[in-house]
Structure 1
Amino acid sequence: MRKKVVALVAVLAAAAAGVVVARGCSGDGTSKEARPANPNGEKPASGTSPEDAPRPMGSAVTIVVDASAPPSEKGPEVLFSATWGGSRMNELGRSRPDEANPEAPMSLAMDAKGNMFVLDQVNGRVVRVGPDGKPESVIPLKEQEAAQDMAVTDDGKVAVLDRFNSKSIVMYDEKGGVLGEVPLEGEGLDELGFVTGVFVDGKDVYVEKEHGPLLRIGTTDGQPVDRTEVPGRPTRDGLSYIKAGIIEPEAGRMYISSVDRATMQHRYTREIRQGSEIRGILLLDTDKTGTIYLATLLVQNDQESVVLSCHEPLKGIPTGTAVLPVNTMPEETFRDMAVLDEGGVVYSVRTEQGVSYQKYDCQ
């Protein structure tokens, strides 16, 4: 379900600093504060203390969302749907053990050609779905029973992260062959439970540490490298490293921060204030133009909502927003959203019947 952006108004050019304030409207049209959440790695992260949070910079901006507007009759575009069950191409695994966390497909990624990759770790595989929405092939996972995340290169190679069983990243080629395996343990990474995602940038493979810096640990050919750290997630336009975090969850305070990639100089940190409690950041990524996509899980009056916002690359100013459905299923997942190169977000929406991969965008 989408919500129409009614206004995007710049207010108060602050002399030294400013904030981004997000406000929404309730169903009866009265103005209410809205509110976002925490970075990718798809589990709500703990808040950052106000003393430790980056200092906000820039002008204050208000986003007004018409929450009373009726949803589009057309609805989101469904790119692929699967039922729960066995291991056929149009089925995905779901596990609900008595004494462990229930699981659904852990991660989702898109390549530059519009192919979708679904990490179906319950069935020990990655399913590749073509741009036409039809499943094309599967990649069997090599001794990665605890696979949780993956990243895909522009040419269709797949990096699969397993923190607890193989304790490695395995690189697969576009046909499913194993290119190589990079161990996670080593310099710069003492606790594997702190790894919050795997990312590829050109020929480099990175792991993220506690939703903060990224550690380069290998190549897309599956070879280990001398480990180096970068200050955030690389943007797809090649210009920046970005990160996001929560300052005060209950107060709805969070931030987006950007570092210039060429100079490694801080570009901006923009505080975002939303009028609801922040439960988690569900997405932080960019499209090919560098537009930042941020999805946050909010709660107000015991009602949860997912808010997607888009931000201009070099200043972080919001350019649009949308409200997405909330996944209420109990299954544990790692990454429910992926940004397309051309813009827009693919979101895995789960029900008791199965999972639907739907496309949304800011308005």
Structure 2
Amino acid sequence: MNSKRVARAQGLWPRASCNLLFAIVLTAGCTEALESQRAIARRGAASTSARSERGPQIIRLERGSSSAVERPQLLARLPWGSGRSSLGRRLEASQPGPMSLAATSTGELLVLDQVNRRVVRLDHEGRWLGSIAITSEASEDLVAVGAALFVLVYERLPSPGYRLERYRLPLGSQRSSSSAAEARPTMSLGLSRRIQLATGLFASGRTATPEIWVESRHERCVRVVREGKPAKRLQQRLGRPPRVGSTVTEHLAAVRLGAAEVRVLTVGRDARSRLRVRSARPLHSLNALQRDSDGRLYLGLTLAGDELREVLVVVDAAAPKPRWLALPSRRTDAFRPLTVAANGAVYALGSDDRGVTLWRWSALAATGGAR
């Protein structure tokens, strides 16, 4: 894979200089994207003013608040390699490793082991279940919907773009293939070449007939699968869609306001401010934005300082205070190394010279305490 393109689309978002959803890197389309995000912010501000009875929730991250940051549980350590219970990496300029992490509806965890052309299956405690062979080392992101696994693949020259592949997801401890020669996608869909610099793969709708979206340039999502079938017409929406099975219809977007503030908005017929996070330290970048099935918000921030520090802010409308989760460091590039399960459990990948670590933070109970 082209290392410069990897650096732009994956873990080097902090080097961006535009205040866009997830700090978009400078590209030919940056001006248009910036204007779109400014429009979202203006619409959100106007909508908030119109709803004078209640404004967005405001959260402040103060200096010296590290004592409130929750540390995770280490579930597994997987060494570098290509065999069972290991994950691959390449030692080159961009140092690609495991690209993405996803959770299934049954509680399994899926790791996109790009270098080894496979998706590794782990149970909710990090134990090895097997792997699913995929066709390409250029796979970037994945999402699981019921018994279907969707993988986003980058296609190189002469006509660069993306392909969406669908695989059958084994159930429980059912054996899965491990050889690249066994890769058998049940669908391989070439996507419009108008979709460039993909920054995420998302699913919404119903489990049996899902909607699959590709996020472009951290800004707009393009629907490429509608009701389980390839979309005949590409629909674009600002922000990220709600998760599968959700009754929510609005998309979710985030906009940076200056050097130390972020606004999270829901985008439907209009844009409404849901949350404002103000930090005492400058924000280097945004790196995550998700919701769970109960509507809690998960906002990932990289704080600037002598050392960059990644935290995840978990906001529950029923809880008096947000949770602050300290994310693990990584020595390899990753596309989406964090996922939130439907019940609110948070999983993240870290990496060092010895291999990959898998971490978990417990979900919140209905009363606001950890389960």
TM-score by length of 1: 0.75
User: Does residue 209 in structure 1 map to residue 216 in structure 2?
Assistant: yes
**Cα contact 1:310–1:318 (8 A) shared by 2:** no
CA 1:348 to 1:160, structure 2 compared with 1: closer, same or farther past 3 Å? same
User: Higher strand fraction: Structure 1 or Structure 2?
Assistant: 1
Per-residue CA deviation, residues 166-217 of structure 1 (Å, 9 max, x unaligned), is 720111111474121121225xxx2522x11111113111101221221101
User: Higher helix fraction: Structure 1 or Structure 2?
Assistant: 2
CA 1:160 to 1:67, structure 2 compared with 1: closer, same or farther past 3 Å? same
Larger CA deviation: 289-298 vs 55-64: 55-64
Give the counterpart letter for 2:148 in structure 1. Answer: K
Q: Report what 2:361 is aligned to.
A: 360
Hey, what's the Cα distance between the residues in 1 that align with 2:138 and 2:109?
21
Q: Report what 1:242 is aligned to.
A: 252
Match of 1:268 among 273, 278, 283: 273
CA 1:125 to 1:68, structure 2 compared with 1: closer, same or farther past 3 Å? closer
Tell me the CA shift for residue 222 of structure 1.
6.2
Larger CA deviation: 56-65 vs 282-291: 56-65
SS at match of 1:69: helix
Give the counterpart letter for 2:199 in structure 1. Answer: T
Q: Report what 1:54 is aligned to.
A: 41
Match of 1:108 among 96, 101, 104: 101
The 5-angstrom pairing of residues 83-98 of structure 1 reads: 83-85=79-81, 87-97=82-92
Give the counterpart letter for 1:54 in structure 2. Answer: A
Per-residue CA deviation, residues 30-66 of structure 1 (Å, 9 max, x unaligned), is xxxxxxxxxx965334314695560443156344666
Tell me the CA shift for residue 294 of structure 1.
0.7
Q: Report what 2:313 is aligned to.
A: 309
Hey, what's the Cα distance between the residues in 2 that align with 1:246 and 1:71?
22
Tell me the CA shift for residue 69 of structure 1.
2.6
**Cα contact 2:58–2:277 (8 A) shared by 1:** no
Give the counterpart letter for 1:109 in structure 2. Answer: A
Hey, what's the Cα distance between the residues in 2 that align with 1:350 and 1:200?
27
Tell me the CA shift for residue 127 of structure 1.
0.6
Hey, what's the Cα distance between the residues in 2 that align with 1:135 and 1:328?
21
TM-score by length of 2: 0.73
Tell me the CA shift for residue 150 of structure 1.
1.0
Give the counterpart letter for 1:61 in structure 2. Answer: I
Q: Report what 1:291 is aligned to.
A: 296
User: Does residue 327 in structure 1 map to residue 332 in structure 2?
Assistant: no
The 5-angstrom pairing of residues 166-205 of structure 1 reads: 167-175=162-170, 177-186=184-193, 190-193=194-197, 195-202=198-205, 203-205=210-212
**Cα contact 1:259–1:266 (8 A) shared by 2:** yes
SS at match of 2:115: helix
Q: Report what 2:266 is aligned to.
A: 258
SS at match of 2:257: strand
Per-residue CA deviation, residues 78-133 of structure 1 (Å, 9 max, x unaligned), is 33321112x22210001102xx4211100000011110000001001101112342
User: Does residue 233 in structure 1 map to residue 236 in structure 2?
Assistant: no
Per-residue CA deviation, residues 299-339 of structure 1 (Å, 9 max, x unaligned), is 12x2221121123479xx9841214144251x221001000
Give the counterpart letter for 1:69 in structure 2. Answer: S
Match of 2:149 among 144, 158, 178: 158
**Cα contact 2:290–2:299 (8 A) shared by 1:** yes
- Segments of 5+ residues of structure 2 without an aligned counterpart are 1-8, 21-33, 49-54, 171-175, 177-183
**Cα contact 1:298–1:304 (8 A) shared by 2:** yes
**Root mean square deviation, CA, Å:** 2.9
**Cα contact 1:54–1:269 (8 A) shared by 2:** no
Hey, what's the Cα distance between the residues in 1 that align with 2:155 and 2:285?
23
Structure number with the bigger relative contact order (C-alpha 8 A, sep ≥ 6) is 1
Tell me the CA shift for residue 282 of structure 1.
1.6
Give the counterpart letter for 1:259 in structure 2. Answer: V
CA 1:286 to 1:51, structure 2 compared with 1: closer, same or farther past 3 Å? closer
**Cα contact 1:157–1:220 (8 A) shared by 2:** no
CA 1:313 to 1:54, structure 2 compared with 1: closer, same or farther past 3 Å? farther
- Segments of 5+ residues of structure 1 without an aligned counterpart are 1-39
Identity within the alignment, %: 24
SS at match of 1:101: coil
Hey, what's the Cα distance between the residues in 2 that align with 1:70 and 1:289?
23
